Amino acid sequence: MGYAAARGGLTAIRNAEDLVRTLRDMDESEQIELDQFIGRLRLLVDRIMGEAGMWEPRLAALAIRQAEGDHIESVHLLRAYKSTLPRIASTEPIHVDDMRLLRRVVPAFREPGGPQILGRSTDYSARMLDPRSGSGATASLEPEVATHVADNSSSVQTNTPRLMNVLRDMDLLTDRRRTDDPEPFDITRTPARPPAPRSARLSSMARAETGALLNQWYRNILGPDGYLHEVTLGEVRHGELPIRIKHPYTNGSVSIGSLRVTEVEAIEDLNGVDEDRDRFDIGYGLCLGHNERKAIAMANLDIACHRDGSKSSLEQSILLTTDGLDSAGFLEHLKLPHYVTFRSMMERKIAVRNARPSVQKGDKA
Amino acid sequence: MPSNLLIDSDIPEIDSREGRSSLLAQANTDELTSLVDRLLEEAELSSQLRIVRSPHTGTVQFQVREPVCEERFYLADVVVTVAEVAIGNHLGWAMRVGTDRRAALAAAVADALFESGHKEACGSLQSLITVTRRELIDQRQSEWAQLNKTIIEFEELD
């Protein structure tokens, strides 16, 4: 790899940028307001915040609008912006049990304890284009009451124990709980390289490009790698976590708001020779916003990495190849002038040819 | 009972400084800024107001504790704006999610006003955070009313 910097053409570059701005901003249609992105394209906004590793829906919406909907470019804009900001503090450690649920399904158990809440989902619906979607014509302000309503209380969400704890109570789960509470690895300060602590893998996957993570999972299930096998999902949750900060004067806890996350537990059937075969183990996925594909892939890859124990290249693939900005940046740099690089390659070809006296120019021997 | 079960879990109380700061962080921007502007003017406190740390935007690292190994990891950064002021000898601090510096400054002034014990200002601000708290609960109840209708009980086929 290598390319030489080029200079010149500044006016053309400025004009090209201006063309992007002008054609985008002077389009005959009405400008899309930021609230519209947040309210009507929430999954796109969520995905971009997750891959940027930054929670701020309005800035994410702004990035999408500026990038003309290019999601990697939007992530790039947000990461570039974030790099200009000082880091003021860390939140208190927020336990995921503090999540206020907006959705919960448990594919492994029909009656997991607590309700299964479909929430905002089209998982069980036929996919048909609807010309009226988004127009308000399809809105139902009074949805039909479900046949089986476990609890219609307006003040209590009802008991929602974690399936993991149900398995723990049945002594069916390998106990990997730690008591030493290691400091988390900060991938924004130090690049994570294998073998990395689990906190580095979880952070890396949480901000990985969704498609890249999905591909890692799929090529390990059906593709050539095969380092993991299909698991059963325990909890699939979407909900809100509080953002708690220590008050600088009192040291008490201040909740300055909340953010939404998707969380997944993947139950692994241990079957290795040196594994605890009469118990299960669990992989864990958590990412910003509502992005179930990403959290499911993450949970699968988390347990796969743990079982693999750095014997294969799986961890390396996750840490080094799933960041969307890294991969897209490398790919797109190929569009930049490579004149000197390519000229030197051509010169080498010609030199090789000239060094072979027996071969006439034009011969393919 | 785990804390995630109650609709009003993590809804701050109004009788502690931390609770008030939490509610000021989540109060409606326009209502907060216009109220603080009015209070400073009416109470003639503007001359006593000192900016200790001008409002500035930065990030806080959001760390979570996951349930499998009970390990912490950094999920992402949250964009926040923080400000610090003083009214006389009373310090006020605020942090709000987002980039609105005016709102962060207003929240810090409100915190200092609470600390100063200024009767009229405290009364008005108390009303604001009481309304904010009520709105947070109402929003969750209305959300739950919709979610409750999507509770499902699957049946196994023989």
pLDDT digits (tens, 9 = 90+) for B21-44: 999 999 999 999 999 999 999 888
Residue in A64, A77, A54 with CA at minimum distance from that of residue A32: A64
Domain assignment present for residue A77? The answer is yes
- ipTM, 2 dp: 0.95
Domain assignment present for residue A105? The answer is yes
- Percent pLDDT > 90 in chain A is 77
Same domain for A225 and A248, yes or no, is yes
Domain assignment present for residue A249? The answer is yes
Tell how many helices (H) and how many strands (E) occur in chain B: 4, 4
Domain assignment present for residue B109? The answer is yes
Same domain for A56 and A115, yes or no, is no
- With a cut of 90, say whether residue B115 has pLDDT above it: yes
Same domain for A315 and A219, yes or no, is yes
Number of domains in chain A: 2
Same domain for A101 and A193, yes or no, is yes
Top-ranked range on mean pLDDT: pick from A146-155, A316-325, B138-147: A316-325
Domain assignment present for residue B62? The answer is yes
Domain assignment present for residue A144? The answer is no
Same domain for A224 and A263, yes or no, is yes
| Cβ(B23)–Cβ(B129) below 8 Å | yes
- pLDDT of res. A5: 67
Which range of residues forms the domain containing residue B94? Answer: 14-138
- pLDDT of res. B6: 56
From A16's Cα to the closest Cα of chain B, the distance in A is: 30
Domain assignment present for residue B55? The answer is yes
- pLDDT of res. A2: 53
Region A323-327: mean pLDDT is: 97
Residues 6 or more apart in contact with residue B79 via CB below 8 angstroms: A54, A55, A56, A59, A82, A85, B57, B58, B59, B97, B98, B99
Residues 6 or more apart in contact with residue A62 via CB below 8 angstroms: A34
Q: How far is CA A167 from CA A112, A288, A356, in A?
A: 10, 27, 72
Query: Cβ contacts (< 8 Å) between A207 and chain B: which residues?
Result: 76
- pLDDT of res. A143: 60
Domain assignment present for residue A302? The answer is yes
- With a cut of 90, say whether residue A249 has pLDDT above it: yes
In DSSP notation, A84-140 reads: TSPEEEEPPPEEGGGPEEEEEE-TT-SS-SS-EE--S--TTS-----TTTTTTTT--
A143 upstream amide cis, omega within 30 of 0: no
Ranges assigned E (strand) in chain A:
54-55, 87-90, 94-95, 100-105, 116-117, 232-246, 253-269, 280-288
DSSP at A155? S
B-facing residues of A in 178-237 (CB < 8 A) are 178-179, 181-188, 198-200, 202-203, 206-207
Domain assignment present for residue B125? The answer is yes
Residue in A157, A145, A162 with CA at minimum distance from that of residue A237: A162
Q: Would you call A55 and B79 a contact, using CB atoms and an 8 Å cutoff?
A: yes
Domain assignment present for residue A196? The answer is yes
- Report how many Cβ contacts below 8 Å link chain A to chain B: 264
- Which of A86, A111, A148 faces B58 most closely, judged by CB atoms? A86
Same domain for A237 and A302, yes or no, is yes
Tell me which H or E stretch contains B84.
Answer: strand B72-87
Domain assignment present for residue B4? The answer is no
Region A55-84: mean pLDDT is: 98
Phi/psi-derived region of residue A246, left when phi > 0, alpha when psi is between -120 and 50, beta in every other case: beta
Number of domains in chain B: 1
Same domain for A77 and A100, yes or no, is no
β-partners of residue B82 are B56, B95
Q: Is A231 helix (H, G, I), strand (E, B) or coil?
A: coil
Q: What is the mean pLDDT of chain B?
A: 92
Same domain for A58 and A167, yes or no, is no
Q: Of A134 and B80, which is predicted with more confidence?
A: B80
A103: closest chain B residue by CA = B147
Domain assignment present for residue B158? The answer is no
Which range of residues forms the domain containing residue A57? Answer: 11-82
β-partners of residue B92 are B85
Same domain for A207 and A290, yes or no, is yes
Q: Would you call B67 and A284 a contact, using CB atoms and an 8 Å cutoff?
A: yes
Same domain for A76 and A102, yes or no, is no
Domain assignment present for residue A134? The answer is no
Query: Cβ contacts (< 8 Å) between B68 and chain A: which residues?
Result: 164, 176-177, 265, 282-284
B78-102 as b/e, with b when 16 or more CB fall inside 10 Å? bbbbbbbbbbeebbbbbbbbbbbbe
Domain assignment present for residue B147? The answer is no
Q: Say if A80 is an interface residue toward chain B (CB within 8 Å).
A: no
Query: Cβ contacts (< 8 Å) between A177 and chain B: which residues?
Result: 68-70
Q: Say if B95 is an interface residue toward chain A (CB within 8 Å).
A: yes
Q: How far is CA A280 from CA A151, A169, A191, A226, A269, in A?
A: 31, 13, 32, 20, 5
CA distance B90 to B116: 6
- Which of A176, A249, A287 faces B93 most closely, judged by CB atoms? A249
- With a cut of 60, say whether residue A159 has pLDDT above it: no
B-facing residues of A in 331-360 (CB < 8 A) are none
Q: Would you call A256 and B82 a contact, using CB atoms and an 8 Å cutoff?
A: no
Domain assignment present for residue B48? The answer is yes
